[in-house]
Amino acid sequence: MRLHTERAQGMVGDHHATFIPTHREDNDTPIVMQVSMSVPVSLEDVEAVFWILVNGGATLEPCELGDDQYAHAMVLETFLHEGSNRIYLVRQDIEDIKPGSGDYALLMMIRRRVAELYGRPGVPAPRRALTGV
């Protein structure tokens, strides 16, 4: 029996990444189709992904999540593996983290790394008041 480790392709924002989807690792069943989708993702969603990864043993060091390509691939792989429901639940847990705690310090490091990779949303310009002239 020949085992295959098929790679998947994806985009995180403007960043292309290749990763091994967990369900395909050493899977000997034939591939019969490809699935593509576009999923809206917030920076808070990506922070939750990093939270899962770091609490699972990954580091923010240059050899892991500090490496841009690796980080993009891990975002895709984790979204596929963990699912959006888990990401949502982790976001709720993150909202409960109190400033000054050890978890808060870790969250701030994760937020800095996510901002390095994907930026921060701009603040919209104030809307001009409409005049009735």
Determine the Cα–Cα distance for residues 73 and 18; give it in Å rounded to an integer. 6
- Which 3 state secondary structure label does DSSP give 31? coil
Q: Which has the closest alpha carbon to 77: 30, 9, 129?
A: 9
**Average pLDDT value over all residues in the chain:** 87
Segment 44-103, tens digit of pLDDT: 999 999 999 999 999 999 999 999 999 999 999 999 999 999 999 999 999 999 999 989
pLDDT at res. 124: 54
pLDDT at res. 93: 97
End-to-end alpha-carbon separation of the chain, Å? 78
pLDDT at res. 8: 84
